[in-house]
Amino acid sequence: MGMKLNTMNIKQIESEALGLSESDRAELAQKLILSLDATSQEDLDEAWLLKAKHRAQEIDDGVVQPIPAEEVRKKAQALLR
């Protein structure tokens, strides 16, 4: 299927995907990641949990400063324009 899609179709799919709700985009992203790798759902869940714990520890230790989600969203939208 990948070879049959041209750039215009990919842009259309991207545009449609970005119009989905946040939870639907997260579900789609997870499915796409899983389609690229033979990683099991359990392995993926464990990896996300370990990463979340690591990031939380970095915040607790003051190694990184959290950025409000709204600020991140605005920067991401600006990059996509």
Task: Dump pLDDT digits (tens) for 29-81.
Answer: 988 887 876 667 788 888 889 999 999 999 999 998 889 999 999 999 998 88
Do 9 and 47 lie in one domain? The reply is no
Do 28 and 12 lie in one domain? The reply is yes
What are the helix (H) ranges across the chain? 7-18, 22-36, 41-60, 69-80
State yes or no: pLDDT of 28 exceeds 50: yes
Q: What is the pLDDT of residue 40?
A: 78
Do 68 and 53 lie in one domain? The reply is yes
Do 17 and 43 lie in one domain? The reply is no
Q: What is the pLDDT of residue 71?
A: 92
Q: In sequence order, which residues have a C-beta less than 8 Å from that of residue 55 and are 6 or more positions away?
A: 64
pTM exceeds 0.85, yes or no: no
